[in-house]
Structure 1
Amino acid sequence: MLLFLLLCLLLLLLLLLLLPPLAMFRQQQPQDARLSWLASLQYRVAWRALCWAAAWQQQRLEQSTLHVGRSQQQALSWCLQRAQGPCCPLRGSTDLSAFRNHLPLTKASQVQEEESGGQLPPPTSKQYHGEASLQATLLGLAALNNAYPEVLAPGGTARVTPTSPWPRPLPWPWHALGHVSPRGAKDPGALLLAALRSPGLRALEAGTAVELLDVFLGLEANGEELAEAVAAGNPGAPLPRRAAELREALQQGPRGLALRLWPKLQVVVTLDAGGQAEAVAALEALWCQGLAFFSPAYAASGGLVGLNLWPEQPRGLYLLPPGAPFTELLPVKEGAQEEAASTVLLAEAQEGKEYELVLTDHTSLSRCRLGDVVRVVGTHNQCPVVRFIYRLGQTLSVRGEDIGEDMFSEALGRAVGQWPGAKLLDHGCVENSILDSSKGSAPHYEVFVELRGLRNLSEENRDKLDRCLQEASPHYKSLRFRGSVGPARVHLVGQGAFRALRAALAGCPSSPFPPEMPRVLRHRHLAQLLQKRVVS
């Protein structure tokens, strides 16, 4: 909040200093020149303000990561002092041992049940709050500009989804920094049309990768209608030549479509969250081939837990910052995730080790196990740099075999690679008991896949997934050999099946933001939604 007020004050002072010369210059210029000069002035003022605020946040981050122990102590004190609800017996104390002893580890599902009192939880907010979200936005914009200097120039960026990848969009200067999207627009069609009318784009923004995947699938399905709207000038002036370019680009298929529509495009900006890797892989292989992907932060269970300061590095590296909420790391032991273990602080994390994130904030004073597992791959000053690898809640287990999200995705990727011409767009898994589909057979997995380039699945292709799973997991292979677990059953669903699933998930009152795409479905009505759309 303090940073926001200082930013507003700086902008006000700059505007006050510029008003007298602006008024004199305005009287001497024709109208078109006045508008162009004013837009240029707005851009320069906004850019100066952004650079100043980002530099201040970078300095604060460097100091906090250099003295991570002190920073975490301050974060814990902040959470305890601002704890909501019943009086906190730890308020005013920052003793870590007392904190751990008084507050046992809990899972995210337990916290939700306690807060809701067994009732339906309230809708999750679609907006991040606090300094962490502002820091992620400012540092992300600065990092993006350093890596791709032209994307924030006027007219260089368009958002094509109602949600934004930036955790906390900035006030007035925001649209002066390159956006061609209509202000306040929430209609996906209007956002996409504005982007299609601007061939000079250098960056595309979408809330998440799965949302962008839906945009490109919809663009293919409704391309002719969109071209007609561009040609007719709905909205804006008629652009028949641009409409012809759109039709020509669509006729050449999905591969490289983004660069055919926007030849100067350099980067795609989305907010990373659980279950997005498949959508990113599909976009990189087809529509967004040849483009870089950048996420300013990683969101887990509705909160920001990682900052991306390195757009030029391989995708998926995040710094765990030491500020609020208070972060602990729970060592993950293979096959023993449920065993009690002691948490470690950020400075105690060891490179190469895997940890589950544990967060404590002031809204629900509980040491919440998020289920998101990270691997430490480096350090920045004294803070760990991590890669998010899987979510414990997305594990398949019908006989205690524990097939993790990362293991299953890798096995499925190898199997799809053996299906001629197939590209995986999306997938979901169900333990057969959810669908009551055993009918006397051994417990097994029901796997639903959406593909591009393959309309039918042969029995030979379906069997390849089970063989890949056996290669990935000796325990699963042993259970299959003994007949305790049946072969995984693979179903091909029609186009739009997972879009319908995401719509159903978004309609849930407790849906997190951004929506973490589940890969293992636990609710029958969601599994049946995919089951009804099986085509092969």
Structure 2
Amino acid sequence: MAQYVPALEYYAGGLPLVSTSYASSEYYFGINLQPLCNPTDVSYTIMPNMAYFEFLPVDDATTGEVVAPEGDAARLVDLARVEAGREYEVVITTYAGLNRYRVGDVLRVAGYHNAAPRFTFVRRKNVLLSVESDKTDEVELQRAVERASELLRPHGAFVAEYTSHACTKRIPGHYVIYWELLTTSDEAVSKETIDGCCLQMEEALNAVYRQSRVADGSVGPLEILVVRPGTFEELMDYAISRGASINQYKVPRCVALPPVVDLLDSCVVSAHFSPGLPHWTPARRND
């Protein structure tokens, strides 16, 4: 929910933003013992009496690939043996009958409260975007949106909602980012500014993506499509009309279903492409 912090801070007018607990539809995991901390510093202490918690180590924070394959219980780590600074995918066994259920959340051990580990939420484990050899996950996409949003602040605007799509209708394929903007002033955001946001997003993405753009030419320029206000409410209405729970609904950070892509495309008010190539330097060989 990090993308909502700027909007919440704007409307809260200085009131503290409090995240009290970490839970999902599967189970209740833990609580934030420092509720008045900065939203970027929130961590949750797991409550071991709620369920039996185990963790799959994540081998690389960039790719998000899990070391242990499906069904390999040998690499599972219990709550008492997690290591500070490492990332894990959480696995739970519950009183209700879930047995070693992979929730899909990746957590990082941020420290300890007495002997109980504190975890920060990192991302969902699935890769969001991929055109060729590139892989971009949720946390990386969020970071890129935040970096690009800095160009909007002088114009009194920020990204209220966003989602993404890997467009492969033409060669090379490219990333499409749908933005719904919220403006706090009468000044319009210029085309040049949003074009620059495209390049800023590319600069924030990983080296494999930038190599694909610069050296390989296997990924095309990133595209930002600005949609009209209310678009993401229409997207929620569409999901609910097809059975999604209004209590559990979250804006998808990547869309692929043709009806959803068509809905977003029908709401576009302006299209913008990256005006240049992101920085990329080939790795040096040590012969």
Paired residue type of 1:306: G
SS at match of 2:102: strand
Contact 1:429 1:446 in 2 (8 A): yes
TM-fit CA distance, 1:313: 2.2
1:430 matched to which residue of 2?
165
1:298, 1:304 within 8 Å by CA — same for their partners in 2?
A: yes
What does residue range 455-494 of structure 1 map to in structure 2 within 5 Å?
455=188, 458=191, 461-481=194-214, 482-494=216-228
How far apart in 2 are the matches of 1:324 and 1:508?
Answer: 33
Query: How much has 1:517 moved relative to structure 2?
Result: 3.0
- Residue 129 of structure 2: SS of its match in structure 1? coil
d(CA) in 2 for partners of 1:507, 1:348: 44
Post-superposition Cα deviations, 1:434-473, rounded to whole Å, max 9, x if no partner, equal xxxx2x3311111100112375552562353344323431
Over 3 Å counting, the alpha-carbon distance change for 1:511 and 1:524 in structure 2 is farther
Distance 1:508 1:319 in 2: 36
**8 Å contact kept, 1:301–1:370:** no
- The match for 1:525 among 259, 262, 267 is 259
Structure 1: gaps spanning 5 or more residues: 1-275
Deviations 1:238-287 (A, max 9, x none): xxxxxxxxxxxxxxxxxxxxxxxxxxxxxxxxxxxxxx221232121x21
Kindly state the Cα deviation for residue 397 of structure 1 after the two structures are TM-superposed: 1.6
Letter in 2 for 1:293: L
Residues 310, 417 of structure 1: alpha-carbon distance in 2 compared, 3 angstrom cutoff: same
Q: Rate the CA distance shift 1:423–1:461 in 2: closer, same or farther, 3 A.
A: same
1:480/1:301 CA distance change after superposition, 3 Å: farther
Does residue 444 (structure 1) correspond to residue 177 (structure 2)? The answer is no
**Any runs of at least 4 consecutive aligned residues in structure 1 with deviations exceeding 6 A, and if so which?**
none
Rounded to whole Å, the distance in 2 between the matches of 1:397 and 1:411 is: 15
SS in 2 for 1:479: helix
Cα offsets for 1:125-169 (capped at 9, x unmatched): xxxxxxxxxxxxxxxxxxxxxxxxxxxxxxxxxxxxxxxxxxxxx
Partner of 2:34: 310
Equivalence for 1:337 = 65
Letter in 2 for 1:450: E
Distance 1:306 1:465, change over 3 A: farther
What is aligned with 1:211?
none
Change (3 A) 1:432 1:366: farther
Q: Residue 356 in 1 paired to residue 86 in 2?
A: no
Shift of 1:509: 3.0
Partner of 1:294: 18
Deviation at 1:495, TM superposition (A): 0.9
Q: Quick one: structure 1 residues 466 and 500, their matched pair in 2 at CA, closer, same or farther if it must change by over 3 Å?
A: same
RMSD, aligned CA: 2.3
Q: Which has the larger radius of gyration?
A: 1
Change (3 A) 1:457 1:308: same
Aligned length: 255
Q: Residue deviations 1:402-448, cap 9 Å, x none? A: 21211111111111211341211111011114xxxx2x331111110
Aligned to 2:125: 392
The residue that corresponds to 2:48 in the other structure is: 322
- Secondary structure of the residue aligned to 1:294 is coil
Q: Deviations over 1:469-507 (max 9, x none)?
A: 234311111000111111111011111111222233344
CA shift digits 1:21-42 (9 cap, x unpaired):
xxxxxxxxxxxxxxxxxxxxxx
Give 1:227's aligned residue.
Answer: none
Give 5+ residue unaligned stretches, structure 2. Answer: 70-74, 271-287
Give the direction of change, closer, same or farther, for the CA distance of 1:512–1:354 in structure 2 (3 Å limit): farther
The change in CA–CA distance for 1:504 and 1:484 in structure 2 (over 3 A counts) is same
Matched position secondary structure for 1:410: helix
- TM-score of the two chains, using structure 2 as the length reference: 0.80
Q: For the Cα contact (< 8 Å) 1:357–1:371, is it kept in 2?
A: yes
- CA gap of 1:428–1:386, structure 2 versus 1, over 3 A, is same
Paired AA for residue 367 in structure 1:
R
Deviations along 1:211-246, one digit per CA (max 9) or x if unpaired, are: xxxxxxxxxxxxxxxxxxxxxxxxxxxxxxxxxxxx
Contact 2:110 2:117 in 1 (8 A): yes
CA deviations 1:109-140 (Å, max 9, x no partner) are xxxxxxxxxxxxxxxxxxxxxxxxxxxxxxxx
User: Take 1:291 and 1:447, find their aligned partners in 2: how far apart are those partners?
Assistant: 31
- Give distance in 2, aligned partners of 1:450 and 1:312: 29
- SS at structure 2 position matched to 1:350: coil
- Give the structure with the higher percent helix: 1
- The reply to whether residue 501 of structure 1 matches residue 232 of structure 2 is no
Say yes or no: does 1:516 pair with 2:244. Answer: no
Could you tell me whether the CA contact under 8 Å between 1:492 and 1:535 is conserved in 2? Answer: yes
Paired residue type of 1:464 = C
- The 8 Å contact of residues 395 and 520 in structure 1, kept in 2 or not, is answered as yes
Q: Structure 1 residues 336 and 294 mapped into 2: Cα distance closer, same or farther (>3 Å)? A: closer
- Counterpart CA distance in 2 for 1:330 and 1:289 is 40
TM-score (norm 1): 0.44
Conservation of the 8 A alpha-carbon contact between 1:479 and 1:485: yes
TM-aligned CA deviation for residue 317 of structure 1: 1.6
**How far apart are 1:336 and its partner, in Å?**
6.1
Q: Secondary structure at the match of 1:283?
A: helix
CA contact (8 A) 1:411 1:465 kept: no
